[in-house]
Structure formats: C-alpha cells, structure tokens
Structure 1
Amino acid sequence: MRFPAGVLAGLLLLTGTGASHAVVRIANDRGGPIAYYIERYEKLRAERQSVVIDGLCASACTIVLATIASDDICVTSKARLAFHAAWDFGRNGRTFTDRGATRMLYSMYPSPIQQWLDRRGGLTPRTVFLQGKELHGMYRECELDPRPSATR
C-alpha cells in the first residue's frame, strides 16, 4: 500500500481538549504503508487520543478502526472510508495484490467492518466506500466542536 510522497500527505488536525487527552482529526488521508499506520495509531491509542474522521480515510488509514477503540472514534457527515486489498511493488516495478498483507489487514478490522466488507466481496483490488447512514450505524456521530483546530 504505497503511494507517491505527494499523495501520502494526509491532513491531520489536532484540537486540544486537555493536556492528557487530545483529538486527532482525519480529514483527507489517502493511506500509505501499513506498518506506518499501525505504528501511528498504536501511539495514539497509548496516548489515549480520540479520533474524529471528518473526510476521506482511505486504504491503510482505515487501520484506525482496528487500533483505536470504537468508543474513541466519531464520524462527521463528511466521513468517507475507502477499503481495498493491500498491494505492493514487484521486482519489475509493477504493483501486485499482496494476499498475505490483505488477509492480515482484514483480520485486524472489527467484526462489523469485516461483515460489511464480506457483503461487498471482501478486500479486493476494487475500492469500496463506507459512508453516510451505514457508517453512522457503526460509529457515533461527532458532536460539533466550535473551537478552532491547530495543524498537527
């Protein structure tokens, strides 16, 4: 799940809600290497940070659902999750579906996400989107926060 560096730029905004508990806002994250996201979200979990999904969270970004407790995740009306099979580059420089990484990724997701994916054929090279009523049926809606966000 690699993307060119320019595409990797996801926008995470940090809003302070206290010194020991912060909120990370995912607004436009197109994903990247799986290991990077696992490490990033494990760190957020250890720091007891909550996550607001407020826009696109694609590819490896969706690992947030596997790492952060569902009670610590909320979604806005703009939240849009994009899922697909894991891929990598072969020796010839062409991409290929990495079946082992895809199985690992799928196994990490909570059961409701796995069931949703199963109804759509699982994780395949084709991207499927979870948003709107279906997403709001799985994760709580964020309460509006009038405080300005700082860029992280």
Structure 2
Amino acid sequence: MRITPLALLILLFAAAPARADLRVTRDHGGYVTEYKAKYERIRDRKERVIIDGICNSACTLVFGIVPMNKVCVTPRASLGFHQAYYDKAFTFGIKVTSLEGTSDLMSYYPDTVKDWIRRNGGLTTTMKKIKNGEDLWKIVDPCPEEF
C-alpha cells in the first residue's frame, strides 16, 4: 500500500498531541517543586494558562515559568502571595518561614510581579492579594475572549 504525502500529513496531525488550556479556578498552592514541574511541562507544550479564579501561593509561579504571552486572567481572577514556609507536617503544625524558599520564589517572578510585591510591603507570612483590576492588568493581560 502506498501512502500519499497528503495522507501522511493527516496521519502526523492526528498523532500529534492536542494542545489544551489550563484553566485555574481554585488553586491554593502547594509544594513549589511540584508547581515548577507542572508549569515547565505546560511551557514546553506551549499551552496557555487562563487564571479564572484563585491562584495563590505556589500557583503564582506560573508568572515566572510560563511565558507571559501564554498567561491571561478573567474578571474572576485573584492572586495571592506570601513567604515560603516549610511543610507543617515536619514542623509540628507550626508555620516556619523559609528565607531560602522565599528568595527562590522571588527569583522566578518577572519584574512586574516583584514591583507589586515591593510596593505592597514585600512577602510576609500574611497572604497579599491582587483582585482583578488595574493592578492585576499591570502584571498580566486579560483574556480577550473573557471580557
């Protein structure tokens, strides 16, 4: 059986993985290493991230790993930033901040995120939030199809 160039092209497109958007709606964060790996996979697959709700803590690493032209926000978006801390399971339930972890987080953020954090008193143990609006749009573009 002979395969024509057109048939080969169709087979190649059919076998290629489909690109999908990641829609963040309620992400309160977690382990930094897991988020780094997740966002690196998204970046490498050239997928888009739509922040459509809460994106707190390690979730915000998206801004330092996925290209900013592949990240957008909807009117429901909310970002939350705080200092990194050790897993409370290993610190007897006490929140112990990590200066090294916090420095690592900051090293990933683009200047627009760093500037907002500095203007708002730096990273502390208390969550600092950006709700939708002008401050958020200085960091990331709104999703055109959502407005």
Which amino acid in structure 2 is aligned with residue 84 of structure 1?
H
Residue 149 of structure 1 corresponds to none
**Superposed, which structure 2 residues align to 1:3-152 within 5 Å?**
19-88=17-86, 89=88, 90-131=90-131, 132-144=133-145
The DSSP-based 3-state class of the residue aligned with 1:22 is coil
Which amino acid in structure 1 is aligned with residue 57 of structure 2?
S
Residue 11 of structure 2 corresponds to none
1:63-119 per-residue CA deviation (whole Å, 9 max, x = no partner) reads 011111110011001100000000113544422001100011011100010011001
Residue 7 of structure 2 corresponds to none
The DSSP-based 3-state class of the residue aligned with 1:118 is helix
Distance 1:139 1:93, change over 3 A: closer
Structure with greater Cα Rg: 2
Which residues of structure 1 form unaligned runs of 5+?
1-17, 146-152
Structure whose residues are more often strand by fraction: 1
> Quick check: 1:20–1:48 contact (8 Å CA) kept in 2?
no
| Aligned-residue identity in percent | 34
Structure whose residues are more often helix by fraction: 2
RMSD value over aligned CA atoms? 1.6
Aligned mates of 2:55, 2:35 — CA distance in 1: 12
> Quick check: 1:62–1:83 contact (8 Å CA) kept in 2?
yes
Q: 1:28 offset after TM fit, Å?
A: 0.5
Structure 1 ranges of 4+ moved more than 6 A: none
The DSSP-based 3-state class of the residue aligned with 1:103 is helix
Which residues of structure 2 form unaligned runs of 5+?
1-15
> Quick check: 2:112–2:138 contact (8 Å CA) kept in 1?
no
